[in-house]
Chains A and B, each alone.
Chain A
């Protein structure tokens, strides 16, 4: 994303002093003053300050790359011993029992399903709303108010997730209980509205969690989509207006086709955030040992919430390793989703 700007800049390519020196040495005839022997000698010389500074900057860049590698590596190293002790299939078992380190039984199937299901539900709610907000902020809001309005939406991201969690379980959940019961009784024949493995009356269902998650990922999807929509070429918009299109038709024929890839990418970033959300889900979701049944009124745990619940009792490295293994799977999952989101945008040069 940064490349074109940097490429245009002479400063971006190494030490300018050195570069000029080299050129002067190779084509002495071009220089207005013939280079003194001193200048020719100085050609390969780089100031120590420059060398140190360049080293620090490059080193920091390398550090980031190493860091990501280290995250994967350390999690893997700590997970392997416990995976070896696992008495059940790690990928295909619903069981999760790590209380006895000598008889570890942990499988991630339930965690994976709950994580993906609740995030997908959140995304389903958040995607249309954030599309609307992004369009509102770029196309509909009065010019002078667009900026403060955007700030308000960004404020949603500033609220800590634990506050969302508390609000979700203590304020929102009780209000949603009647609605959930009604959905369950009226549409219970459809599997996802079927009776779940926790009591709806407690409020801690995936339905509640998904709504709170949706609120939390709204600002991310909105911010990225907004940036892309703002870049719609003015020519396209004016062309559509000149052809007599209504405002909606202008958006449908210019803004949406131009911004579609960016919007999809933004949604995937939101998905990545939802997959890894920890404390809000730990607070809201009702813990249960019953297997997940693909209902919105199920409880259960996501990867992150299961780890958070057990975090205080990482006493035995073998049990801790089981949770680290779950963390590794979550890391890989978010890595793939985020990388996919970035590669979608990277394929569209017009967004830069």
Chain B
């Protein structure tokens, strides 16, 4: 263009840079619109689902009884009572599941990053973790049923549910631990070895604390995920309308199970309980997600 200014006669030749043709412009614009639209399409169901749950469930949970009472002795159509029994069940099963899965998951993560290297076992383990991630929850539940109930002869219980949840939680913890350990700088490990500190102590005192915030975040998110699982509670434990703290014996309620029972209850009381349990479950999951964020902020290594 600037040469054109210097020599007016050159304007007769077409400019070196041609403007983008209309066809290309239209295609580009269309792609932009479609891509924005795709994102909007994803947001719609999220907002819609959350709105449904909040709008229908909110009246139930503002009642103090909801958080303090069970449904013991109430008929399906009777108003009143609460979801305390189900909340207790969900939290207990999640807690026991966490206690079992966290050490196993972290150790597998440590193995993969610190010990496994390129060995055949490490590659097999990585592959199996991928497979475990994809195991449907109903299959995990059936496996625990086949192992715990049929083969070992125990009865269905809250503990069996926790065991099935372990299968679903472990791969999530392994993945997070692995990711977090990998980003711990090697200089830290080498500095520790240079001081003559054994490898296991280096891992426990240097590597894990550095990665701790990330690992804890992963654990919180994994817990939030497994507490919403319905398939294992359907197969492995019966529903109880009363409070049961015993994980090893008797039927035990949990929020998904309560919802599954009340969804067949056509009365107003059933409706209130169904959506009340839904919003309670969503609240608990949100709480754990928030906790994960707080933990990661609070424990993140101070970098200066």
Contact = CB atoms under 8 A, between A and B. Distances in A.
B230 A161 contact: yes
B263 interface: yes
A60 B134 contact: no
Interface in A105-155: 128-133, 135-137, 139-141, 149, 152-153, 155
Interface in A257-282: 269, 272-273, 275-279
Interface stretch (A95-103, A183-191, A322-330): A322-330
Interface string B198-225: 1111011000000000000000000011
A251 B31 contact: yes
A64 B129 contact: yes
Tell me if B's interface is mostly helix, strand, loop or mixed.
helix
B231 A279 contact: yes
Interface string A44-68: 0001011011101111111111011
B249 interface: no
Contacts of B240: none
Nearest to B231: A278
Contact of B131 (A10, A50, A335): A335
A64 B170 contact: yes
B201 A269 contact: no
Interface centre among B17, B34, B170, B235 (most CB of A within 10 A): B235
A287 interface: no
Interface string B16-45: 010010001101101110111111011101
Contact of A156 (B46, B108, B132): B46
A241 B15 CA distance: 19
A57 B45 contact: no
A92 to B, nearest CB: 23
A176 interface: no
Interface string A297-340: 00000011001100110100100100110010011001101110
A52 B142 contact: no
B32 A152 contact: no
Interface string B265-283: 0000000001100100110
Tell me if A's interface is mostly helix, strand, loop or mixed.
helix
Contact of A334 (B125, B139, B150, B263): B139
Interface stretch (A33-41, A162-170, A193-201): A162-170
B139 A166 contact: no
Nearest to B196: A17
Contacts of B27: 246, 248
B194 to A, nearest CB: 10
Given A163-B53, A167-B52, 5 more contacts: A11-B114, A60-B111, A61-B122, A71-B143, A308-B235
**Complex A-B, nearest 8 residue pairs according to Cβ-Cβ distance, in ascending order:** A276-B136, A132-B38, A160-B228, A53-B200, A338-B134, A60-B107, A57-B111, A248-B31
22 contacts: A5-B182, A6-B117, A17-B196, A50-B200, A53-B199, A54-B115, A54-B199, A60-B111, A65-B125, A68-B128, A77-B146, A161-B228, A162-B230, A163-B282, A166-B263, A215-B45, A278-B138, A279-B230, A307-B142, A308-B235, A314-B145, A320-B150
